[in-house]
């Protein structure tokens, strides 16, 4: 009796083992199958959608890099014509200034000497002018010699030249010559903003001595920011004025902005073999900072191609595939997995290269991701 129980138990164990092996085989076949069946209820509950290939315009583009910049006229480096010691620096980097606003004040005894020389020349000039006029009259009446007349003329014109030169020098130092003639002598000169904009550099502090070669402050006007893009020599012939540009500032944001090609350079950098392309940017798009690195795409043309939505494509076993409707019977949708070859792609659509395989075919364009994922996990 005991032997009979052992035999029955062994047969039951083998039967269960065969059943499990058969189940695993079925499951494995289902994973490898290119056919998927979806009930009408599943199709509707998952909001699946069928559609065909659609013609879409894809952009032919060139990828470039560059930076945010402004025209040379919108940059200004403030220097002094005559060296001096900084006595006043009220501004900081980032401050906004208006044209003509006080930037820094400088002091130097040399400023006083220049004004003294101007004042002395002014006083001498009145006498020399009167003497010149007198000698001219006497020479005309042949009362004095030509030598005396020419001597008076030379002295007057020489001092007049010195007077005019010192006057211009005072104006360049922002000192009013008329005030000096009235005896108002100052040891301080002021430097004013030549343009409106924002302070980008302050290279001095109180007490610093600056010479004419030193840059004291830098100002940038960002009202006319643009893109300075660097394009490879092989691509430059494709770029024309008016083409659209899409660009990003990768270090600051993933947002894409728009610009337009305004100027194309005419010389090639001998080292990099690149050409500069100037693009206009809408200043209201964002608060860009001069010097920001940008990644840009120049749109050189448009090509119409048959496409599918990006969500219609799945990647299985490193192959791109879609599901096409094979047949619709008994309230069931029978789908067949077909490989696709992809071309250009944008944010919403992807170009299909092997279009003949999908002629007049209904393709699952929504819901395929969830469906294929579920099928693989079973």
Contact 47, 370 (CB under 8 A): no
pLDDT in tens, 313-366: 888 778 888 888 888 888 888 888 888 889 888 878 888 888 888 888 898 888
Say which CATH topology domain 62-72+221-301 has: Elongation Factor Tu (Ef-tu); domain 3 (2.40.30)
As a whole number of Å, the end-to-end CA separation of the chain is 44
Name the average pLDDT for the chain.
Answer: 83
Where residue 372 falls among pLDDT bands split at 50, 70, 90?
low
Say which CATH topology domain 34-59+305-377 has: 2.40.420
State how far the alpha carbon of 305 is from the alpha carbons of 301, 308, 320, 354, 360, in Å. Answer: 13, 10, 18, 11, 16
The candidate with the shortest Cα–Cα distance to 324, out of 364, 351, 355, is 364
Contact 314, 376 (CB under 8 A): no
Contact 80, 216 (CB under 8 A): yes
Q: Which residues contact 174 (CB under 8 A, 6 or more apart)?
A: 189, 190, 191, 192
pLDDT in tens, 113-138: 999 999 999 888 888 888 888 888 88
Domain 73-108+187-220, CATH: 2.40.50.100
pTM comes to 0.62
What's the rounded Cα separation, in Å, for the pair 103 and 97?
Answer: 9
The candidate with the shortest Cα–Cα distance to 240, out of 85, 62, 105, 110, is 62
């Amino acid at each position: 009796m005991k032997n009979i129980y052992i035999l029955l138990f062994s047969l039951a164990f083998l039967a269960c083992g065969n059943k499990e092996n058969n189940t695993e085989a079925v499951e494995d076949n289902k994973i490898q199958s290119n056919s998927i069946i979806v009930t009408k209820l599943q199709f509707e509950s998952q909001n699946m959608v069928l559609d065909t290939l659609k013609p879409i315009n894809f952009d032919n583009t060139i990828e470039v890099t560059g930076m945010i910049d402004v025209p040379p006229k919108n940059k200004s480096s403030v220097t002094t014509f005559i060296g001096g010691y900084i006595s006043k620096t009220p501004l900081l980097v980032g401050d906004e200034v208006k044209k003509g606003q006080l930037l820094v004040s400088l002091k130097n005894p040399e400023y006083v000497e220049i004004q003294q020389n101007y004042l002395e020349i002014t006083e001498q000039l009145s006498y020399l002018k009167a003497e010149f006029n007198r000698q001219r009259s006497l020479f005309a009446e042949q009362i004095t010699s030509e030598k005396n007349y020419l001597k008076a003329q030379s002295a007057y014109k020489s001092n007049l030249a010195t007077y005019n030169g010192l006057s211009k020098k005072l104006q360049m130092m922002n000192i009013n010559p008329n005030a000096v003639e009235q005896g108002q002598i100052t040891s301080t000169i002021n430097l004013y903003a030549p343009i409106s904009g924002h302070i980008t550099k302050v290279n001095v502090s109180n007490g610093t001595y600056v010479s004419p070669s030193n840059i004291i402050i830098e100002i940038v006007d960002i009202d006319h920011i643009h893109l300075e893009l660097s394009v490879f020599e092989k691509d430059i012939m494709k770029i024309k004025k008016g083409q659209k540009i899409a660009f990003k500032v990768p270090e600051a944001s993933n947002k894409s902005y728009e610009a337009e090609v305004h100027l194309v350079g005419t010389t090639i950098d001998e080292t990099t073999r690149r050409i500069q392309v100037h693009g206009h940017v809408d200043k209201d798009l964002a608060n860009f900072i001069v010097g920001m690195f940008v990644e840009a795409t120049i749109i050189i043309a448009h090509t119409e191609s048959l496409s599918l939505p990006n969500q219609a494509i799945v990647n299985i076993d490193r192959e791109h595939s879609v599901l096409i409707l094979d047949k619709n019977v008994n309230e069931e949708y029978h789908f067949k997995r077909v490989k696709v070859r992809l071309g250009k792609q944008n944010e919403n659509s992807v170009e299909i290269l092997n279009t003949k395989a999908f002629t007049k075919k209904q393709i699952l364009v929504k819901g395929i991701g969830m469906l294929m994922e579920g099928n693989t996990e079973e």
